[in-house]
Amino acid sequence: MVSHKKPDIVFFEAFDEEQELLRKICPAHVHAEFTPLTIQEARLVKAPARFLSIRTQSRIPLLWKDDIDGVLTRSTGFDHVLAYKQETRTQAALGYLPVYCSRAVAEQAIAMMLSLMRKLPSQQRSFQQFHRNGLTGQECQGKRLLVVGVGNIGAEIVDIAHGLRMKVAGVDIDRKLPSLEYIDLVPGLAWADVIICAAALTEETKNMLDYDMLRRVRTGAIFINIARGEISPLGGLKRLMDEKILSGLGLDVFEDEHILAHDLRAGLHSSKSASTVCALELAQYSNVVFTPHNAFNTQEALARKADQAMESVVLFLAENKFPFPIPETHNS
């Protein structure tokens, strides 16, 4: 950030490919600056602009409340920004991007499922010896999939799973898909071979899929979370894996993810954070697939994201409002 004049907007957590797209479509009259860092990693004392764009790992300092007019989170989830609003009672306009990556995230969830069912991590490790011992996997056709949270992403997961000829059931308060069989959570866990969490993080869903709840699954079930890590705490997941209640685990999101991401980027592999320690231990398991909150990241979704983000920026700078304002409450 070399300019002495404050920019119109600063984009935090903008990785290389995203920055390239945003710079390409940014209007000439908009003075935008970009950094791959989170707000915490940037270690700024004062807000660098009155309009900020973040993703899910930045935490806005409470002392910046009176210096910010708008916040755009470039994510479908907005629990982190809603928490900031509830804590500060800020009057700043708050926006998000709810519809850019539903298919991308759904495909990642299914890719994780197939990887775990076919034991691809173990297959890769076995290549050097070229043996097949312990590598017998499962086919997905006819298997029972429970989708917990059937919003935009969950609906796409259902669509793909039906194409794979799986038996699919959903858990959601809003039972809006006529082609889907809905079921309550507890019997659904006992029924399913695979559970995919696509639920929004709310006060009701926080810790919803903890150890005590997930221990009700069929022994040998696979669990995947592409929603929010706080819904399924890591300690409970590790215990379920160690007790061999779960046979596979796939996570793109993590409890205390902003701490985990900072620790790993800083090379703090001996972190004092319990969630970081647990994540690093689980990552060594042969039946675990972890990805760095990257399920959204396809060429197609990134293009939609950049377009929608810049549309939001232009509208906010002109009219102080967003195409997709963050609701006062977050329903799953």
Question: Where residue 61 sits, what CATH number does that domain have?
Answer: 3.40.50.720
Same domain, 133 and 273: yes
Look at 332 and 254; give whichever has higher pLDDT.
254
Using 50, 70 and 90 to split pLDDT, how confident is the model at 117? very high
Same domain, 49 and 80: yes
- Domain assignment of residue 242, given as a range: 102-290
Same domain, 27 and 86: yes
Q: What mean pLDDT is predicted for residues 192-200?
A: 98
Q: What's the pLDDT at 4? A: 62
Token pair in block for residue 212: 């005590």
Give the tens place of pLDDT for each residue, 73-102. Answer: 999 999 999 999 999 999 999 999 999 999
Asked if residue 108 is part of any domain, the answer here is yes
* 72 vs 58: CA distance, rounded Å: 12
Same domain, 187 and 279: yes
Using 50, 70 and 90 to split pLDDT, how confident is the model at 45? very high
Same domain, 259 and 213: yes
Query: If we measure between CA atoms, which residue out of 167, 209, 159 comes closest to residue 189?
Result: 209
Same domain, 78 and 187: no
Same domain, 139 and 204: yes
Q: In what order do the strands lie in the sheet with 51-54?
A: 32-34, 9-11, 51-54, 70-73, 93-95
Give the chain's length: 332
Cβ within 8 Å of residue 239, ≥6 positions away: 211
Q: What mean pLDDT is predicted for residues 144-156?
A: 98
Q: What mean pLDDT is predicted for residues 36-63?
A: 97
pLDDT at residue 270 is higher than 90? no
Asked if residue 283 is part of any domain, the answer here is yes
pLDDT at residue 189 is higher than 80? yes
Look at 7 and 331; give whichever has higher pLDDT.
7
Asked if residue 306 is part of any domain, the answer here is yes
Asked if residue 75 is part of any domain, the answer here is yes
Asked if residue 328 is part of any domain, the answer here is no
* 223 vs 193: CA distance, rounded Å: 9
Indicate the average pLDDT of the chain. 95
pLDDT at residue 331 is higher than 50? no
Same domain, 61 and 147: no
Q: What's the pLDDT at 329? A: 58
Q: What's the pLDDT at 272? A: 81
Using 50, 70 and 90 to split pLDDT, how confident is the model at 199? very high
* 120 vs 217: CA distance, rounded Å: 23
Token pair in block for residue 165: 């000829």
* 43 vs 60: CA distance, rounded Å: 11
Token pair in block for residue 304: 């939609």
pLDDT at residue 1 is higher than 50? no
Same domain, 50 and 94: yes
Within 13 Å and on the Cβ side, how many CA atoms surround 25? 18
Query: How much of the chain exceeds pLDDT 90, in percent?
Result: 94
Residue pair 246/85 in contact by the 8 Å Cβ criterion:
no
pTM of the model: 0.93
Same domain, 27 and 153: no
Same domain, 170 and 243: yes
Using 50, 70 and 90 to split pLDDT, how confident is the model at 267? confident
Same domain, 155 and 32: no
Asked if residue 173 is part of any domain, the answer here is yes
Number of domains the chain is built from = 2
pLDDT at residue 171 is higher than 70? yes
Asked if residue 254 is part of any domain, the answer here is yes
Q: What's the pLDDT at 268? A: 72
Asked if residue 235 is part of any domain, the answer here is yes
